[in-house]
A and B are shown apart, each in its own frame.
Chain A
Amino acid sequence: MADKEKRRSGATPPGMPEGNATKSDSDREFLSRAGVGELLRGAILKMVEARSDDPIGFLADHFCNLASVSETGTAGYSDVDHFSDGPLSAGAQEQQHLNRALWHLRLAHHSQRSAFSNNVRVAYDLLNLTGPLRRSGEVPQGPDVSCTDSPTEGGGGGGGVKGGLYTQTLQCLCSEGGVPASTSAPLLQRLHCQDHEAVPYDIFRHGVLTCAVFSDYIRQAQRLYAEVCCPDEGPASRALCLSVLGTLKEALETSQGCEANVCDNSNMKVNSCLEGNVKALCYLEASAKISPYRLGQAMAGAQARGPGGNMDAKEFENAAAELFITRVKVVS
Chain B
Amino acid sequence: MFRCCIGHPQTLETFGAEGLRDSRKPRLVACSGSTLDHHDSNMLHSPHERVAHKDDVAVMAFLSFRLFQIQEITFKNYYTAYVTVRLLRRSPGHEAPAKWSTALRDLPLMDNPHTEGGSQDYCSVHRAQMQVEPDHVTSVRLILRQPSSAWLTFSLEQIQIFPQVPPNPEKEVSDWLSDLTLGDQHPDLEGLPDPQTVSSSLQQMWALTEVMQSNQTSASIGRYDVDGCYDIKLLSLT
Interface residues of A (CB under 8 A from B): 110, 193, 197-200, 202-203, 205-206, 209-210, 213-214, 216-217, 220-221, 223-224, 227-230, 240, 244, 247-248, 251-252, 255-256, 265, 268-270, 277-278, 281-282, 285-288, 290-297, 299-300, 303, 320, 323-324, 327-329, 331-332
Contacts and interface: CB of A to CB of B under 8 A. Distances in A.
B220 interface: yes
Interface in B202-238: 202-206, 208-213, 215-217, 219-221, 223
Given A214-B212, A296-B192, A290 B203 contact: yes
A193 B203 contact: no
12 contacts: A202-B219, A203-B221, A209-B212, A217-B205, A217-B208, A217-B209, A295-B195, A296-B189, A299-B195, A327-B209, A329-B217, A332-B221
A220 B204 contact: yes
Contact of A292 (B188, B195, B209): B195
A205 B189 contact: no
B201 interface: yes
A227 B194 contact: yes
Contacts, number: 140
B169 A209 contact: no
Given A198-B221, A202-B219, A252-B206, 8 more contacts: A220-B204, A229-B193, A281-B173, A293-B180, A323-B209, A328-B216, A332-B221, A332-B223
Contacts of A300: 187-189, 192
Contact of B71 (A202, A269, A332): A269
B208 A240 contact: no
A227 B209 contact: no
A220 B110 CA distance: 65
Contacts of A270: 165
Contacts of B192: 240, 296, 299-300, 303
Contact of B180 (A251, A277, A288): A288
A116 to B, nearest CB: 11
Nearest to B216: A329
A331 B221 contact: yes
A57 B191 CA distance: 45
A31 B213 CA distance: 51
A193 to B, nearest CB: 6
Contacts of B172: 281, 285
B95 interface: no
A299 B233 CA distance: 55
A213 B182 CA distance: 34
A257 B217 CA distance: 19
A133 to B, nearest CB: 25
A327 B212 contact: yes
Nearest to B124: A269
Nearest to B228: A194
B162 to A, nearest CB: 6
Contacts of A291: 180, 199
